[in-house]
C-alpha cells in the first residue's frame, strides 16, 4: 500500500516533533547531560595525566639507537592516539546514556499513552533513533573539539582532509552506536537495568573494540576474534585518520621504514585480518553495512512486537 504525499508529509512532521520532544527531555535533565558529557572528558584527562608518558616511553623503546624524534612528534602522536581512543568509545557509550529516555518512557508508562496517538510505530522508532543520534553527535563533537585543542597543544600533524575524515568517522560511528543501543535498550524495562548496561558497556566495550588496549598486543586468536566485531572497524577508522599522517612525519625525521611500520603496527594504525591489511574503504563498508543491518533489526523487532500485541488483543 503506497502512501500519498500528504501522508508522507504528516509522518515527517510527526517524526520531527517526536524527535524534538526526546531531545528536549534529555537536555532538560542537566544531570544526565553533564554526566554524558563529562565521561569522555574524564577519560581524556586520565590519558593525559597517567598514560601519556607511558606511551611515549613505549615508542622510544622501539626507536633504533642513533635515531631520535622531536618531542612534538612524540607527544603529538600519543595525543592523537589518546583522542582516537576516547572518540571510538564515547560514540557508543554515550548513545546508551542518550537512549535512557526510551527506557524511562517504558518505566513510567508514557509509551502506553504514545501508542494510542495517531502516530504510527515507525514514527516512534525513528523519533527515538534520531533523538539519540543527535544528542550523541552533539556530545561527541564537543569531545572531538576539546581533543583537537589538546592535540594542537601537544603537536598537530593532521591534514585538512584527515580532519574532515574524522568528522565523518564520528558521524558514522555514532549511527552505529545509536543503532546498537536502540536494540539493547528496547529489551530493558527499568532504569536500574539501563544503568547497569551502560556501566558494563563503558567498562568492556573499550577493550573489545581495541580502543583501550592495542589489538596488536592480543594473542592471535583473540585478535582475529576482535577483528570480527564491527566496533573494531570504528576504532580502525579513527586510528587511520588520526595517526595515518604520522607515517610521513616519522619518515621525514629519518626513522627507518621498519621502525615506522613497527610503531604504526604497534598502535593499530594499520589493521590486519588473518594476515591481510584492512583498507579504510573496507572499514567504511563494514561499519555502514552494520548500521543498515542494525537499523533494520530495530524496525523488525518493533514490527514483531506490535504484531504479537495485536494478536493478544
pLDDT digits (tens, 9 = 90+) for 69-128: 888 999 999 999 999 999 999 999 999 989 888 888 877 777 666 666 666 777 888 889
Residue 86: closest CA among 219, 234, 193: 234
Quick check: 186 pLDDT over 70?
A: yes
For the whole model, what pTM was predicted?
Answer: 0.92
pLDDT band at 310; cut points 50, 70, 90: low
Residue 23, all three cell numbers = 531531545
Percent of the chain having pLDDT more than 90?
45
Mean pLDDT of 221-245: 92
Quick check: 190 pLDDT over 70?
A: yes
pLDDT, residue 187, reads 84
Cβ–Cβ under 8 Å, residues 268 and 117: no
- C-alpha radius of gyration, the chain, whole number: 22
Residues forming beta bridges with residue 277, ordered by sequence position = 272
**In the predicted model, what is the mean pLDDT of the chain?**
88
pLDDT band at 2; cut points 50, 70, 90: low
Quick check: 64 pLDDT over 60?
A: yes
Kindly report the number of other CB atoms within 10 A of residue 9's CB atom.
11
Residue 209: closest CA among 268, 262, 297, 142: 268
pLDDT band at 44; cut points 50, 70, 90: very high
Range of the domain at 45: 5-60+68-312
Mean pLDDT of 46-71: 88
pLDDT band at 154; cut points 50, 70, 90: very high
Q: How many independent structural domains does the chain possess? A: 1
Amino acid at each position: 500500500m503506497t502512501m500519498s504525499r500528504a501522508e508522507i508529509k504528516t509522518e515527517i512532521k510527526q517524526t520531527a516533533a517526536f524527535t524534538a520532544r526526546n531531545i528536549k527531555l534529555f537536555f532538560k535533565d542537566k544531570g544526565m547531560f553533564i554526566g554524558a558529557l563529562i565521561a569522555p572528558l574524564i577519560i581524556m584527562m586520565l590519558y593525559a595525566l597517567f598514560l601519556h608518558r607511558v606511551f611515549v616511553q613505549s615508542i622510544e623503546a622501539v626507536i633504533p639507537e642513533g635515531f631520535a624524534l622531536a618531542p612534538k612528534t612524540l607527544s603529538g602522536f600519543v595525543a592523537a592516539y589518546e583522542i582516537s581512543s576516547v572518540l571510538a568509545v564515547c560514540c557508543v557509550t554515550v548513545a546508551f546514556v542518550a537512549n535512557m529516555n526510551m527506557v524511562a518512557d517504558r518505566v513510567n508508562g508514557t509509551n502506553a499513552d504514545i501508542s494510542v496517538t495517531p502516530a504510527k510505530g515507525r514514527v516512534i522508532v525513528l523519533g527515538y533513533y534520531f533523538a539519540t543520534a543527535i544528542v550523541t553527535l552533539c556530545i561527541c563533537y564537543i569531545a572531538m573539539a576539546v581533543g583537537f585543542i589538546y592535540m594542537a597543544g601537544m603537536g598537530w600533524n593532521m591534514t585538512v582532509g584527515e580532519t574532515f575524515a574524522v568528522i565523518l568517522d564520528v558521524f558514522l560511528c555514532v549511527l552505529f552506536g545509536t543503532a546498537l543501543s536502540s536494540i539493547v535498550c528496547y529489551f530493558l524495562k527499568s532504569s536500574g537495568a539501563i544503568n547497569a548496561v551502560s556501566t558494563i558497556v563503558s567498562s568492556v566495550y573499550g577493550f573489545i573494540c581495541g580502543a583501550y588496549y592495542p589489538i596488536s598486543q592480543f594473542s592471535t586468536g583473540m585478535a582475529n576474534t576482535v577483528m570480527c566485531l564491527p566496533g573494531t572497524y570504528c576504532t580502525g577508522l579513527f586510528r587511520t585518520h588520526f595517526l595515518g599522517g604520522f607515517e610521513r612525519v616519522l619518515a621525514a625525521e629519518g626513522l627507518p621504514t621498519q621502525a615506522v611500520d613497527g610503531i604504526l603496527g604497534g598502535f593499530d594504525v594499520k589493521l590486519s585480518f588473518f594476515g591481510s591489511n584492512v583498507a579504510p574503504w573496507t572499514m567504511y563498508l563494514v561499519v555502514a553495512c552494520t548500521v543498515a543491518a542494525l537499523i533494520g533489526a530495530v524496525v523488525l523487532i518493533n514490527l514483531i512486537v506490535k504484531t504479537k500485541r495485536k494478536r493478544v488483543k
